[in-house]
Amino acid sequence: MHFPAGEPTTSSQVTSSNFADADTKLKFRRHKPVWNESSSDEPPAGQRYSTWPFIEKGMRGPQPYPLWLIEDAGAVDTELGILKTGKEGDVFLLERATQERSSLLAAKRYRSRDHLQFSRSQAYSDGRSARRSRDNRAISNNSAYGRDIAALQWANAEWTYLLRCYEAGISVPYPVQIDGTEILMEFIADPDNSLAAAPRLQQLARFDSRLPALWDQLTDALEKFAGLGIAHGDLSAYNLLVSGERLVVIDVPQCVDLAGNPQGMDFLHRDCVNLCEWFDSKGLSHDPDELFASLLGHLF
């Protein structure tokens, strides 16, 4: 999303988000951005100076950077509200702004160990392991240290898969940066309301005229996933966003390696079944076994 120069947004402009529940209102922080770089005072609650200048280059998104991305050291991040909650973490709406311009970002934050309740099945992470055996044991024992390591692992997994998918041409949010267990990414907006999140595919009506084109985009994304040797592993109409004519895949930390994970093919077939059943319910019939067989031809 890009906002014209000289027209920074404020938290009071942002409307309700369809990213979570359709009628959920964002709980806004009523603070105006502060750009006094000479001051040693910290910004008020709900704000911070942009973390971009302190992020190592390897922890930033791929170049060329999108035009809407703000690199200015004097930018201020303002938290506008929560978009989505989950057991592993929450997604917040963040405005990064200077005096001249602003952009909205989605900030996914994996929870601290005191509030962490990981629900991801171990089956997703088969084939992955921590570098140190001590870390693997701690994760298996669900110790406080193990939960910290698990949060870092899932954040790093999501960041890695976002990068791989984006660079392979899969329609995912642009990955802006990762800082510990926080990932900043492109905010996928509703074209009819640039300050509202795009609806999920699940919300589309049965006879929506975009459905055939969205199916084509979906199969293209699945083929590219297979070309990387991975499956989304949890793909359904709930983690696909529809931004006008564009279909966007979200929630990728559980992606599975089709060669290294013993259940990889089962996850891929389940994705095919879930998606075909949903489109069938909307009047577009597709055979999940045929889709699965066609994807096998795109492996690696």
Longest CA pairwise span in the chain (Å): 63
33 lies in some domain: no
73 lies in some domain: yes
Residue 222 shares a structural domain with residue 132: no
Residue 84 shares a structural domain with residue 159: yes
Say which CATH number the domain at 104 has.
3.30.200.20
CA distance 70 to 62: 14
* Number of neighbouring beta carbons within 10 Å of residue 219: 16
Residue 203 shares a structural domain with residue 271: yes
The pLDDT score that the predictor gives to residue 149 is 62
Residue 249 shares a structural domain with residue 154: no
Of 187, 216, 231, the residue at which a domain comes to its end is 187
Contacts of residue 40, defined as CB under 8 A and 6 or more positions apart, other chains included, come to none
23 lies in some domain: no
Beta strands 89-97 and 76-85, pairing class: antiparallel
Residue 178 shares a structural domain with residue 85: yes
Total count of residues recorded for the chain: 300
Query: Position 79: which residue type?
Result: E
Residue 109 lies in domain: 46-116+128-187
25 lies in some domain: no
Chunked in runs of 10, what are the mean pLDDT values of the chain (300 residues)?
A: 42 42 41 51 85 93 96 94 86 96 95 54 55 53 56 88 97 97 96 90 95 98 97 96 98 93 95 98 96 92
Residue 77 shares a structural domain with residue 178: yes
What pTM value is reported for the model? 0.80
Residue 137 shares a structural domain with residue 227: no
The pLDDT score that the predictor gives to residue 88 is 79
Query: Position 4: which residue type?
Result: P
The pLDDT score that the predictor gives to residue 40 is 52
The pLDDT score that the predictor gives to residue 2 is 43
20 lies in some domain: no
Residue 251 shares a structural domain with residue 278: yes
280 lies in some domain: yes
Domain count, the chain: 2
CA distance 9 to 27: 16
Residue 171 shares a structural domain with residue 215: no
CA distance 9 to 76: 12
Q: Is the CA virtual torsion 266, 223, 158, 200 positive or negative?
A: negative
Say which CATH number the domain at 209 has.
1.10.510.10
Residue 159 shares a structural domain with residue 220: no
Contacts of residue 146, defined as CB under 8 A and 6 or more positions apart, other chains included, come to 135, 137, 138, 139, 140
The pLDDT score that the predictor gives to residue 124 is 58
Residue 111 shares a structural domain with residue 58: yes
CA distance 230 to 170: 12
Residue 97 shares a structural domain with residue 179: yes
